[in-house]
Amino acid sequence: MPLTLTRSDLLQQQNFINGRWCDGIGSTRHEVADPATGAAFASVPDSGAADAQAATAAAQAAFDGWRALPARDRARFLKRWNALIVANTEDLAKIISREQGKPLAEARGEVAYGSAYVEWFSEEAVRTYGEIIPEQVRGKKMMATREAVGVVAAITPWNFPLAMIARKIAPALAAGCTVIAKPAEDTPLTALALVKLAEEAGIPPGVLNIVTSSREKVAEVVGAWLADSRVRKVTFTGSTAVGKHLARESAGTLKRLSLELGGNAPFIVFDDADLDAAVGGLMAAKFRNGGQTCVSPNRVYVHHAVYAEFAQRLSARIEALRMGPASREDSQIGPMINSRAVDKIESHVQDALARGGKLLLGGKRVRNNVADGPNYFAPTVIAEANHDMALASEETFGPVVALFRFSDEEEVLRLANDTPFGLAAYFYTRDIVRVSRVAERLQTGIVGINEGALASEAAPFGGVKESGYGREGSSHGLDDYMQTKYQCQGGLA
């Protein structure tokens, strides 16, 4: 099916460097496929080191002018950009759905979510206050001012192709940084459409640059940025393995790093929980984007007293989910992003069943009709999960719910924290004293208490342990893009 947009010019298929749309210097391209069918429907440059270096040079040249703009002027550019994102929601949602596979309704939600960050940082841009330090020695004035760190490289994953890049570009530009971006191989088109709207908003040439590449060439593109001392910061969302690689490789030039990495979220249902609310919260947290989210619960711990009841109510809700292509308005779960993702989900399910898991629902690939490709995986529930299973220590990133049994608070806290990851955790209880006790002891950057939908531009989003460092959103969101300068002026007595 052709991708029909109100504005066909939003389907950009070139790099954007120094205010110009251009092909890669090496002129090879890679294809972008619809995850629902596997059919290619667009292509973008398969860029290399030379393209990456051209983007860096443009961003470096634009930096002095951009950071010197009054904060209010930078804010105006962001507001104009945001207005264009909102006005083109439907086209952006169609592009997201087509290249990423999430249902259209969810894709519209992602546009609103990403746009909220742009709006938020257009407002925060004018509040990057410093400090006047009270006089310590007569005649000496001391100040701490905040300034933009410089050229920022932004590297983003495929699961939220609009929101993940918007929540990096917006704070970077608000702070006065310039940006070079590389979207994921599977989903470059949404990012290119966003940049097209940024161009239309009048953001000056060189301030925002984007380079696309295939998985085979990504190390070359990003490697050119990691080795370049003009790039002062890397902001990355993606897997922990790649995050560690970036930390190692950027050490040579001591870049600032923000790493939003993988998770393996525990979701705890205590025996005093409101079970319907817990089922609702789990459905929201688990099935957003078909389970392909970093804060998706991978381990659901249910108190043995309510285990059977919870499993039964949950399975009834999951069984009613409608799978289908993103383009169908009533789809609730689309295809997974690609066949590698489905292979991983399948291997986690098989491993769990081989290690004592009991299959309550799903457990296999499905094809609803002949047009479907091989990337659909049935929503799955596995009971009697245990910590020997791969899904207890690795992200499954798919529509698989694993139900673990527990009998007391101490035990479940030990199990919940028994992971190298520390992004999000959730728990449901009606005991107010337990609320603060458990929230304090969970080793994660984000805790949902009787709530499954946590993301907000007004809140600090990020992890601890091997889920990374840095925070996106909130009043803290600009900190990662700014550095503090201490100024001491003498001779004033």
Question: In 3D, which of 409, 363, 358 has the Cα closest to residue 386?
Answer: 358
| Smallest separation, CB 394 to ligand NAP (Å) | 10
By the rule CB under 6 A, 262 interacts with ligand NAP: yes
Q: Is 260 in the site for ligand NAP (CB under 6 A)?
A: yes
Of 400-419, binders to ligand NAP (CB under 6 A) are none
The distance of closest approach from Cβ of residue 74 to ligand NAP in the complex, given in angstroms and rounded to an integer, is: 25
Residues with Cβ within 8 Å of residue 308, at least 6 apart in sequence: none
Residues 100, 35: contact at Cβ < 8 Å?
A: yes
DSSP characters over 62-129: HHHHHHHS-HHHHHHHHHHHHHHHHHTHHHHHHHHHHHH---HHHHHHHHHHHHHHHHHHHHHGGG--
Question: Given candidates 40, 73, 137, 215, which one binds ligand NAP under the rule CB under 6 A?
Answer: 215
Question: Which listed range, 127-135, 213-221, 278-286, 310-318, lies at the site for ligand NAP (CB under 6 A)?
Answer: 213-221
- Which residue number has the CB closest to ligand NAP? 238
185 is catalytic: no
- CA-nearest of 177, 260, 131, 241 to 482 is 177
For position 206 contacting ligand NAP by CB under 6 A, the verdict is no
Opening angle at CA 451, ends 449 and 454, nearest 5: 100
Question: Minimum distance from CB of 237 to ligand NAP (Å)?
Answer: 5
Q: Which of 158, 377, 427, 428 binds ligand NAP (CB under 6 A)?
A: 158
Q: Where are the alpha helices (DSSP H) in 125-187?
A: 163-175
* Residue 291 in the binding site for ligand NAP (CB under 6 A): no
Site for ligand NAP in 333-362 (CB under 6 A): none
Pick the closer one to ligand NAP by CB: 74 or 348: 348
**Considering the rule CB under 6 A, would residue 239 count as an interface residue with ligand NAP?**
yes
**Minimum distance, C-beta of residue 108 to ligand NAP, in the bound complex (Å):** 19
473/191 Cα distance (integer angstroms):
19
Separation of alpha carbons 84 and 161, rounded Å: 17
Is 385 one of the binding residues for ligand NAP (CB under 6 A)?
no
Q: List helix spans (H) across 368-431.
A: 409-416
Min dist. Cβ of residue 36 to ligand NAP (A): 19
Instruction: Pick from 35, 157, 281, 335 the residue near ligand NAP by CB under 6 A.
Output: 157
Determine how many CB atoms are found less than 10 A away from the CB of residue 181: 27
Which residues ranging from 423 to 442 are in contact with ligand NAP (CB under 6 A)?
Answer: 423
Is 488 a known active-site residue?
no
Q: Which of 106, 110, 199, 260 is catalytic?
A: 260
- Using the minimum distance from each CB to ligand NAP, give the nearer residue, 78 or 165: 165
Structure tokens at 213: 């590449």
Q: Which of 36, 59, 78, 218 binds ligand NAP (CB under 6 A)?
A: 218
Helix (H, G, I), strand (E, B) or coil at 170: helix
Q: Are 101 and 337 in contact (CB under 8 A)?
A: yes
Query: What residues make contact with ligand NAP under the rule CB under 6 A?
Result: 155-159, 164, 182, 184-185, 215, 218-219, 222, 237-239, 242, 245, 260-263, 294, 395, 423, 463
Q: Which residues are catalytic?
A: 260, 294
